[in-house]
Structure 1
Amino acid sequence: MTRARILRLGLLALAVLVLGWFALRPAAIPVDTVTVGRGPVVDVIEAEGRTRLVDRYLITAPIAGQARRQLLEVGDPVEVDQVLVVLDPLPAPALDARARAEAQSRADAASSRLRGAGEDLGAAQAAAEQAASELARLEALGEQSLVARDLVDKARTAARRADREVASARFRQATARHELEGARAALALGSRSASDAPAMELAAPVAGVVLRRYYESSRPVQAGDPLLEIGDPAGMEVEVDVLSADAVRLRDGMAVELHRWGDAEPLLGRVRRVEPAGFTKVSALGVEEQRVWVIVEITSGRERWRRLGDAYRVNAHFALESRTDVMRIPGSALFRDEDGGWAVFRVQGGQVSLAPVERGLQGGSWVEVLDGLAEGDTIVVHPDRALADGSRVRVR
C-alpha cells in the first residue's frame, strides 16, 4: 500500500470520527438570558383590599309602623336634618261584612245605653230634688217640734242617697259615652286603610349620600328593621386582609401604594391601624389561612380618587425596606444547588457554568446579589431541569 493511499484512508477515517462526534454530542438547549445590572430592590408585601367609608350610618325603625314609599335612590345626596323616612301608624285590620255588622250593633247598643243612662240621670236628679224639698220641709217642721226627730233624720238620709244616685247616674252616662266612642272608632278604623294620626319623620344625622336602601315600596316595618344607609364619601379608607405572618412586619404610619384602582398612577396612603385580632379565611386552593385586617388611610388628594366608591377593589403594596442602587438579578434565575445554597447558571462561550451566589434583599421580582456575580454577566432565567454545569446552550 502506497503512502498516498494510506494518507487518504487516514483522512477518511478522521472525517468519519468528526462527523460521528458532531452527530452524537448533545444538542444545544435553548435558554432565555438576562444581563446582571444595577437598580432598586424593594421588599414589598402585596395584598388585595377594598375601600370603605369611615363613617356610615344605618337608619332603623325606632317603632313598628308603616313606612311610606322611599323616593331616594342610591347615590342621592342628603343634607343634615333632611327627612329620609316617614313612618305612619300601622293600619287597623279591615272588617268583613259580619265583623262590620257586629261593630255596628255594638255601636248601636252603646248609643242606646247612653240614652238610657241619660234618662236614669234625669230620674235621679228629679228624685234628688224631691228628697231635698222633703228634707227642707221636715227640717222646718222639726224646728217647731211639729214632727218627730227620726223623720227628719230619715229625710236627710234619703236626700243623701238621692245625691249619690245622681252621681252614680252621671258615671254610668260617662261610661256609656266612652263605650259609644270606642265602638264608633273600631267601626271607623276598620273601614279605612290608615288612621289620621300624625306621622313620624326620621331625619339624616349627617350630610352624605345614600349607600343602600332596604325597601322601596310602602310596607310595614318592625322596631329595629334597617331602612336606609348613608355615609360621607369624602371620608374613605381601605381595609386590606394580609397574612398574619406579614401583619407582624407592618407598623402604623408605614407608607402604602394603592395600585389597580382604575388609574395607572398609584394612590398614596399610610397604615392607620393593624388590628390586633385575626380571622380564618379559606383560600382559593382550599387552605385555611390566618389573616389580619390592616386599615390604610388615603393620603392622595381627594380630587384624584373622587370617583372611588364604597367596597371598590384595590391592590395594596406595603414597602417594608428598599435599596436604590444595588446589583440585582431576577428572582426567577435563582435555584437551590446540591449543597442547599442559592446558585445561577452563567453563560460563557455557548456553555453554562454553575455560579453560587449570596443573595441579599428580595422584593417583587428582583433579588439583590451580594457575592458570586459581576456586573455585566449573562445568566439564565427560568433554567430548564435539563441544564447542568457545562451544558451547551443557545440563546433564544
Structure 2
Amino acid sequence: MRRLIIVVAALSVLGLIIWAFLPRPVTVELATISPQTIEVSVEEEGEARIREVYTLSATIAGKLTRIGLHAGDQVVAQETVVASIGPAAPAFLDSRSRAVAEATMAAAGSAVDLARAQVVQAEATLDFMTSEANRARALFEKSAISERTLSNAVLEQKTAQATLDSARANLAVRERQKDSADAALLTGAANGPDACCLNLIAPVSGRVLRVLTEDEQVVQVGTPILEIGNLGNLEVVVDLLSRDAVRVQPSAKAEITGWGGPPIAAQVERIDPVATPKISALGIDERRVEVFLTLTGDPSEWQQLGHGFRVIARIALWRAEGVLAIPVGALFRDGPYWATYVVRDGRAQLETIDLGERNESYAQVLAGLQAGDQVILHPSDLISDGIGVAPLAH
C-alpha cells in the first residue's frame, strides 16, 4: 500500500511536469474580415484668407490726416471716407538755397519794373501814332497828302498797338514769375483755411483688415494706407505635396477643422498647376502645390474665422462602399508582400494578400482573404505559422 502511494505520487509529479512543458495556445485579439466603407483622404495645414483684399494707397503726395478707422470696422462701398490727404508744408531752405531764392525774387521784381516801363513807353508811342494817323486822315480828305502817306501812318498806328499788347503780355509773365519766386520763400503751414484735401473712399463694402499707416504724416504716391476685405468671401488655401495633389480632383469633398470652431464642410475649387519648391522643418526639399477650397457649410458656423487663420484641411481622395476591408493593425510585411495571420481551426496561418487603397484604419483587400475570415490584430513575436492561438476574452 505504501509503495502504491509512492508510485501514484511520482506519476502525478511527472504528469504535472509534462503538462507544464506542453505548448499552450497564444492568446490573441481577433478581427473579422467584412465589407466596409473606406475613404482615403489627405490632411494638411492650410490658411483661411479673403479672395479679394483691397490695399488702399496714397494717390498723391501730401500730408495724411490721422486714420480714425481700426481693424474690424465696417466700411460701405463708395460712401465711407477712409483717409484724407492734404497739401504738405514746403521744405525749409538752407542758407545757400534761401540766398538763391532771394536773388531770384529780386531779379523777378526788377523784371516786372522793366516790363511796366515798356508798357508805359508803348502806350505813349501808341498815343502819338494814333494822333498822327488821325491827322493824316484829315489831310488826305483835303487831298493834301497821298494815299501812301496815309497808309504808312495807319500801319505805324497798328504797329504801336501790337507793341503795347506785347508789352502788357510780357508784364503779366514777369508778374507770374515774381509770384513764383515769392512762393519759393514760403515756409508756413500748408493747411490753411483754403487748403484742399483729397478723400479716399472705400472701393468695396466689408471690414478693415489692417491699418498700415495710422499716424498723421507726409506720404508719397503709392504709400499703402490700409487693407479692406469682405470676410464673407473666405477661401482656404492648402499646400499639398505634389504626389498628393495629383490625386485631388476638382469638386472633391473636404472638411475644415483645427481652427477653434466646429468642422466646416468645404469643396475643392481648383488646383494650382505649378509646384513651388519649399524646405520642410526637417530640411527636406519638397514640391508643394496650392489647392483652393470653397467653404460650403452654413456661414453662421464660421463667423469667427478670419483672414490669415490657421486651419487643418482634410481632402477626400478616394471613397468606396461595401469593399472587403482588413484592419491595418493586422498587416505586416513579408518580404515584398503584404501578409496577415488568419485563424483556421485554432491555428494561425500565414497568408499573403493583395491590397488596394487604404487609410489609417482599414485597407482594401483585392485577393487572399474572404468575408468572414478572422485575422490576428497586432501579432507579436510569439505568433508564427501553424502555432495554436486562442481568442482574447473581452
In 1: Cα distance, 2:150 partner to 2:315 partner: 108
Give the alignment partner of residue 299 of structure 1, picking from 279, 296, 315: 296
Instruction: State the partner residue of 2:55.
Output: 58
Q: TM-score, normalised by structure 1?
A: 0.77
Quick one: structure 1 residues 351 and 122, their matched pair in 2 at CA, closer, same or farther if it must change by over 3 Å?
same
In 2: Cα distance, 1:256 partner to 1:160 partner: 90
| Alpha-carbon offset, residue 274 of structure 1 | 2.7
| Alpha-carbon offset, residue 171 of structure 1 | 2.6
Quick one: structure 1 residues 65 and 40, their matched pair in 2 at CA, closer, same or farther if it must change by over 3 Å?
same
| Alpha-carbon offset, residue 318 of structure 1 | 2.6
| Alpha-carbon offset, residue 300 of structure 1 | 0.9
Q: How does 1:261-300 map to 2 (within 5 A)?
A: 261-263=259-261, 265-300=262-297
Matched position secondary structure for 2:208: strand
Instruction: State the partner residue of 1:317.
Output: 314
Quick one: structure 1 residues 355 and 142, their matched pair in 2 at CA, closer, same or farther if it must change by over 3 Å?
closer
AA in 2 matched with 1:301: D
Q: How does 1:76-155 map to 2 (within 5 A)?
A: 76-81=73-78, 82-96=80-94, 99-100=97-98, 102-141=100-139, 144=142
Percent identity at matched positions? 33
Pair 1:344-2:340 in alignment: yes
Quick one: structure 1 residues 210 and 148, their matched pair in 2 at CA, closer, same or farther if it must change by over 3 Å?
closer
| Alpha-carbon offset, residue 109 of structure 1 | 4.3
Indicate conservation of the 8 Å contact 1:36/1:328, yes or no. Answer: no
Quick one: structure 1 residues 261 and 146, their matched pair in 2 at CA, closer, same or farther if it must change by over 3 Å?
closer
Instruction: State the partner residue of 2:360.
Output: 364
Instruction: State the partner residue of 1:43.
Output: 40
In 2: Cα distance, 1:124 partner to 1:316 partner: 88
AA in 2 matched with 1:232: N
Indicate conservation of the 8 Å contact 1:44/1:318, yes or no. Answer: yes
In 2: Cα distance, 1:301 partner to 1:144 partner: 107
Quick one: structure 1 residues 114 and 379, their matched pair in 2 at CA, closer, same or farther if it must change by over 3 Å?
same
In 2: Cα distance, 1:242 partner to 1:32 partner: 39
Indicate conservation of the 8 Å contact 1:260/1:315, yes or no. Answer: yes
**Which range is displaced more, 205-214 or 349-358?**
349-358
In 2: Cα distance, 1:177 partner to 1:138 partner: 38
In 1: Cα distance, 2:245 partner to 2:327 partner: 26
In 2: Cα distance, 1:175 partner to 1:186 partner: 17
Instruction: State the partner residue of 2:168.
Output: 170
Matched position secondary structure for 2:185: helix
Q: How many residues align?
A: 385
In 2: Cα distance, 1:229 partner to 1:26 partner: 76
| Alpha-carbon offset, residue 272 of structure 1 | 2.0
Task: Give per-residue Cα distances to partners, 1:239-278, cap 9 Å, x unaligned.
Answer: 2232333333332222222222323x42212222233333
In 1: Cα distance, 2:258 partner to 2:389 partner: 39
In 2: Cα distance, 1:32 partner to 1:112 partner: 113
In 2: Cα distance, 1:213 partner to 1:26 partner: 78
AA in 1 matched with 2:198: M
| Alpha-carbon offset, residue 107 of structure 1 | 3.4
AA in 2 matched with 1:238: V
Indicate conservation of the 8 Å contact 2:248/2:316, yes or no. Answer: no
Q: TM-score, normalised by structure 2?
A: 0.77
| Alpha-carbon offset, residue 83 of structure 1 | 1.8
Quick one: structure 1 residues 361 and 137, their matched pair in 2 at CA, closer, same or farther if it must change by over 3 Å?
closer
Q: How does 1:373-388 map to 2 (within 5 A)?
A: 375=372, 377=374, 379-381=376-378, 383=379, 388=384
Matched position secondary structure for 2:302: coil
In 2: Cα distance, 1:89 partner to 1:261 partner: 46
Indicate conservation of the 8 Å contact 2:33/2:370, yes or no. Answer: no
* Structure 2 alignment gaps of length 5 or more: none
Task: Give per-residue Cα distances to partners, 1:177-206, cap 9 Å, x unaligned.
Answer: 212221222223x44356855222221221
Pair 1:233-2:231 in alignment: yes
| Alpha-carbon offset, residue 63 of structure 1 | 4.1
Task: Give per-residue Cα distances to partners, 1:106-151, cap 9 Å, x unaligned.
Answer: 4354344434433432233223223332443355446556678887
Matched position secondary structure for 1:201: strand
In 1: Cα distance, 2:227 partner to 2:120 partner: 63
